[in-house]
Amino acid sequence: MNNPASAAAPGLERVNLPTGASPITAKAGRQASLDIYRGLVIVVMTLVNYLSPVQGVPAWSKHWPESLDGYTYVDVVFPAFLFIVGVAIPLALSRRLSCGIRCWARRARSSCAREC
């Protein structure tokens, strides 16, 4: 008898991962942890911006009042985003500098020509 729980949806066949492989992978040269953290921050940023005009949301979903000391998760979104930028810039620059300054300049010129 057919077991619906074991049947995959059309076009979504089950893939067996090699032993020791992680189901979360990134493109070559990318940090999966940074991409996941970036995605989480973007989701929270979107949620915070969506909830800002809504009345009746809990106090922990609003910015902390200026007259009091403290913060909520809403107040941490922008610093988290700046942290991501600060971590990503050295990674991106080191990758570009490793291919050589001439290679990097040639790529910059060719990408500028394509955009114009």
For the cut 50, the answer to whether the pLDDT of residue 115 exceeds it is no
pLDDT at 116: 43
Does the pLDDT at position 83 exceed 90?
Answer: yes
pLDDT of 9-19, one tens digit each?
A: 555 566 666 67
- Note the pLDDT tens digit of each residue in 65-74: 888 888 888 8
Q: Dump pLDDT digits (tens) for 13-65.
A: 666 666 766 666 556 667 788 888 999 999 998 988 888 888 888 878 888 88
In this prediction the pTM is 0.56
Dist. CA 34–CA 58, nearest whole Å? 30
DSSP states of 31-54 as a string? -HHHHHHHHHHHHHHHHHHHHTT-
Count, in order, helices (H) and strands (E) of the chain: 3, 0
